[in-house]
Structure 1
Amino acid sequence: MRALPRYIITVTAMLVAVPTVAAPIPVSKARVWERWEQALQSTGRYDDPARDVRLQVVYEGPGKRTLRAPGFWDGDRTFRVRCAFPAPGRWRWRTTCSDTTDGGLHGQTGIVDVTAYKGPNPLYRHGFLRVSANGRFLCHADRTPFLWIGDTAWAVPFRATAEEWAIYLADRVRKRFTDTQVGLAPWWSGDRDSRGNRPFLGAGLNRPNPAFWRAYEAKIEAANRAGLMVMLAGVMEPTTRYPDQDEACRFARYLAARLYGSFVVFSPSFDSGYMPLGDAVGAAVREATSVHLITQHPGTPSGRSTNTIAEAYRDKPYMDFAGNQTGHNGGNRERCARQAIEWNLSLWNRKPARPVINLEAMYDAHGSGAWTADDARSLGWRSWLSGAKGYTYGAGRTAAKAPGMSGGLWFWVTDPSKPDYWRKALGWASSDQMTVMHDFLASIEWWRLEPAYPLIHARATSARDRICASATPERDLVVAYLPSGDGIPIDLTGVRGSIRGRWLDPVTGKTTPIRGRIEPALQTLAAPSPGEWVLVIQAGR
């Protein structure tokens, strides 16, 4: 055989000797608490990817801190994983997939270099919500108390355009709301969003429509970037009442995966009675995320001594705080007032302690005799001083409850000729009165307040006339709500130090200082004029 030229032999040897070079690990950047995501491309073909594929990711950060989260299908061959990293430093991630042969999803790795957030957004500055150490209120990851002044926007993400949603957010941020409560795609709001997308592909909940949920989550992200928390009500029933439990749980895990990097609270129930479906979906959400809060938005068992639905859900293992609804009660204002007091007190008094949030009371619908600004405002003050550590306002009611109305802001009425057209309802004066409530509470250490009704020495003939009161255990701060009248008979025995007081007008926000000496004893403090007032007593420590 003829010998090969030497230069050919040399090249061949070099080719054999070169080792395989590993693909570089991708490195991305993020800021603390802002949403981060990584897209992955599946190498497999699946008939029903949302159902057939289970994608998981593990994040390991500084101090070997570990987070586990599900991934989700986002159309065609695209899957995504998301996170909001709680600390700066280098985080590493690795995926696992139920189909271990799918090289695009299984065993993928990466690095995220996370830096501190230095902007003004309170969510990114303080982090996801958690329950305080004493179990009484909500706070951020850094233990900063979270003041829940919520707004009701049930159908708004579904019905509003992105531009309209931006107008809504700007107004609510300016008025210092801190949370907005939304539904998903409830049947009564239509069958497709403002872009014409349906929430699911085909019947049932097994195939979420990526186009719909991308648009939906973009509105959630816009709210977060504006500084607003979002509570999602009806996770167990995204389109119709009480679907198949397995489908509902599968969808709940999908939604939790999509929103793993978002500032949201999950509520399986949406104005329903207690049911096993709510528990099953609550457990499914908890399986998917350990970093988000879960509650239940209960119905209103009107006329009962307690909210039996909220009481039944309260101590479930997936629950973080007791969601309450003291309700509209068919326009019965006396019942609304009584339930805002007694139902919140009942939940507050249960042990072990859990935060109580009144997620729905009577809305303002510019009604006469009920559904007025007075109702929405007064029920907020009654709730806050009866153990609730958060209150949600609403604007609008249907014609069956408030003649001439079509749903108002929460239904997103789009007919400019209607009196509750969304732009009109957005500017109702009652929403400014929520600003008064926020600003007052933000000026005090509201999280230290506990119901203190024994301080009040007055007998009311009705719940609407009952004076509500809370105080700190040290009695260095006392707050009382006078719904109507000339003054408050209050026992300040045991209050130490220099005592000073003022009256707050809950409508205008104007304050009137109390002149003269306030005694550490039982006395009647006269209001500046007959009417509705908030009394504030502070003492030197």
Structure 2
Amino acid sequence: MLFSKDIVVKTESNKMVEITLTASGDYKDPFNEVELDAIFTDPSGKQLKVPAFWDGGKVWKIRYASPLEGTHSFTTACSKNEDNGLNNVKGKVEIKKYKGTNPLLQRGAVRIADDKRHFAYGDGTPFFWMGDTWWMGLTKRLVWPDDVKKLADDRIKKGFNVVQIVAGLYPDMPAFDPRGENEAGFPWEADYAGIRPAYFDAADKKIMYLAEQGITPCIVGAWGYHLPWLGVDKMKQHWRYLIARWGALPVVWCAAGEITMPFYLSQTKDADREWLKTEWTNVIRYMKETDPFKRTVTAHPSRTARESLTDPALLDFDMHQSGHGSGPAKQSALALEGWRTQPVMPVMSGESRYEALAIPKPLPAEAPRGAFWAHTVNSGLAGHTYGANGIWQLNGIDKPYGNSPGGNNWGITPWNEAMQLPGSAQIGAARKLIESIPGWNSFQPQPEMITQWSAKDTAVLAVTAGNQSALAYLPSPGTITITLPVSDQQYKAFWFNPITVIREKEFAITTDASGKFAATSPEAKQDWVLVLTKN
């Protein structure tokens, strides 16, 4: 911790550093009375206005990170000009090259790839979004450190690299429901008079652990229906606080969950939806203006993020909620709609079919697996987020989460049992397969190239740039005929079993003079994945 005005801090590229300041003045309501920023000048001469956050008492903190090596100088600017502990404090951050193994620090935070269809690390290295859903992961039902490390380590081993997690203003409950508390209580005072730093001090431990392990925290600021309770101005304060706390970490921002969905018991839902659409758009605009690190921004919708804003161009990518009750045909149709919608941006499903979700019968592994493949292939294989009932709401080991405000109960599977559901291993392993395919980060959906399919369900196909590779998902066994725009071309091919996650039946394919070929899957009554790569 640093309290001197002659501040010199050393760190490594992309690695967050923290600078602590102590106010000289006494304030009755520091959170609302004082606004503090640090104006950084990086080695290229670019200036960044970095918001600071109040951490209780007289303590304020600045968090900063940059991929640029060299000297980063700063001067603070405080709304209380006379406070010599906060205002006009000068210093510098010396940054050297990061020498560790964390890919988020080696390569930089996740951004949109140059093709505007996929994701990449900051340095341009392709990134496949393989997300897991921990909506209520900051509550005390997921105990720090043992529970967090156990769940995170399991997800890392299975191939997950993103966690979607809500910053205290949760779904499936009213405001200030005791189920939303963490070890320090709630994120806001009961009357929304101010933020509670102790809540975020506890949350820091979990968010920072995820980032330290190479998992990108996709931080959801609030569930959408909290906006009328806080009001727009306080929601902007909430987001400024999140940006100040966590923006220097390699995070992705999700403005809100089910962003235009009214509270479950609302009597004015149509009017609420329109108001939420307008005002959340304003909040997102504020987020993008406030964040100096320009982290990637999206929104979690009831259907698509694009249609949830009055200005969809504010989004960096289009997150979908593709339907807990929707089979592969509907999943793939929504994905293709997203691919074809303007403005161009990556498309992925951030919520599809939660494994073991009781609607009313628990969904088996084939439901989230089918949703993954159908939506992901038809949206260009940018990524997907899996969800398990029991983990999204963090059912306690001894005490289930309980009922929603409307009386629904989605199931009582404890999180530590839900962690072992087979779908997580099947879907997590799919990332390894996809990333092994040459040119995978240039996949585009090509449904029109499927010229015949023997079953009654919907098969999907994606092809890479230059027709180097192709991937088809078959929801059931059968024969698929595909016409590629290359004649007499030899391909190496294999069938991938998405249940056992192993390759089966390797063979060769040669397209005919019109580019056509046919392939018949193994006979087992299940879904199959066909992969082709040019010789």
TM-score bin (small chain): 0.7 to 0.9
Q: 1:293 aligns with which of 292, 296, 316?
A: 296
Counterpart position of 1:92: 73
Counterpart for residue 304 of structure 1: none
Partner of residue 257, structure 2: 270
1:430-486: CA deviation from partner (whole Å, max 9, x where unpaired)? 110022211111212322000111111236886xx1000000241111100011022
Equivalent of residue 534 in structure 1, options 513, 522, 529? 529
| Runs (5+) with no aligned partner, structure 2 | 261-272, 401-411
Which residue pairs with 1:15 in the alignment?
none
Q: Which residue does the alignment assign to 2:53?
A: 72
Among 139, 143, 153, the alignment partner of 1:161 is: 143
Partner of 1:16: none
Q: Quote the residue 1:404 is aligned against.
A: none
Question: What do residues 419-440 of structure 1 show as CA deviations (whole Å, max 9, x unaligned)?
Answer: 6111111111111002221111
Q: Is 1:502 matched up with 2:494?
A: yes
Name the residue aligned to 1:454. Answer: 448
State whether structure 2 residue 471 is matched by structure 1 residue 483. no
Cα shift readout 1:373-416 (whole Å, capped 9, x = no counterpart): 101011111111111511000011xxxxxxxxxxx111111134
Counterpart of 1:393 in structure 2 is 386
Which residue type is aligned with residue 450 of structure 1? Q
For residue 165 of structure 2, what is the aligned residue in structure 1?
182
SS in 2 for 1:85: coil
Q: Which amino acid aligns with 1:410?
A: W
Inter-CA distance 202–421: structure 2 relative to 1 (3 Å threshold)? closer
Q: TM-score, normalised by structure 1?
A: 0.86
1:468 and 2:460 correspond: yes
**Within 5 A, what are the aligned runs for 1:229-248?**
229-235=216-222, 242-248=229-235
SS at match of 2:331: helix
Q: Provide the secondary structure at the position in 2 that maps to 1:63.
A: coil
Is 2:417 aligned against 1:424? yes
The total of aligned residue pairs comes to 492
CA distance in structure 2 between the partners assigned to 1:83 and 1:524 by the alignment: 55
- Spell out the pairing of 1:398-413 with structure 2 (5 A cutoff): 408-413=390-395
Match for residue 518 of structure 2 among 515, 520, 524: 524
Tell me what 2:101 maps to. Answer: 120
Q: Structure 2 CA distance, aligned partners of 1:241 and 1:268?
A: 15
CA deviation after TM superposition for structure 1 residue 493, in Å? 4.6
Alignment deviations for residues 277-305 of structure 1 (CA, whole Å, 9 cap, x no partner): 211221221122042111110014xxxxx
Amino acid aligned to 1:453? P
Single out whichever of 95-104 and 279-288 deviates more from structure 2: 279-288
The match for 2:188 among 200, 207, 217 is 200
> Are positions 1:439 and 2:429 aligned together?
no
User: Is 1:227 the counterpart of 2:214 in the alignment?
Assistant: yes
Native 8 Å contact 1:236 1:252 kept in 2: no
Are the structure 2 counterparts of residues 470 and 81 from structure 1 closer, same or farther at C-alpha, using a change threshold of 3 Å?
same
The 2-side partners of 1:156 and 1:417 are apart by 15
Q: SS of 2:451's equivalent?
A: coil
Partner of 2:112: 131
Provide the identity percentage. 26
Partners of 1:315 and 1:86 lie apart in 2 by 30
Structure-2 residue corresponding to 1:148: 129
The letter for the 2-side match of 1:288 is T
Q: What SS does the corresponding residue of 2:283 show, helix, strand or coil? A: helix
Q: Distance in 2 between matches of 1:50 and 1:379?
A: 44
Q: 1:247/1:496 Cα in 2 relative to 1: closer, same or farther (>3 Å)?
A: farther
AA in 2 matched with 1:277? E
- Whole-angstrom CA distance in 2 between matches of 1:452 and 1:227: 33
**CA deviation profile, 1:317-340 (whole Å, cap 9, x unmatched):** 432111111121xx3xxx443332
Specify whether residues 242 and 467 from structure 1 end up closer, same or farther in structure 2 by C-alpha distance, changes over 3 A only.
Answer: farther
Alignment correspondent of 1:511: 503
Where 1:26 maps in the other structure, the secondary structure is: strand
Distance 1:79 1:513 in 2: 61
Q: Corresponding residue for 1:257? A: 244
CA distance in 1, matches of 2:24, 2:312: 41
Task: Report the counterpart of residue 198 of structure 2 in structure 1.
Answer: 211
Q: Which amino acid aligns with 1:442?
A: E
Q: Cα–Cα, structure 1 residues 312 and 424, in superposed 2: closer, same or farther, change >3 Å?
A: closer
Q: State the 1:26 CA deviation.
A: 2.1
CA distance in 2, matches of 1:212, 1:198: 6
1:190/1:496 CA distance change after superposition, 3 Å: farther
Q: Tell me which of 320, 337, 340 is aligned to 1:324.
A: 320
CA distance in structure 1 between the aligned counterparts of 2:197 and 2:284, rounded to whole angstroms: 23
Larger C-alpha radius of gyration, 1 or 2?
1
- Residue pair 2:320, 2:348 contacting (<8 A) in 1 also: yes
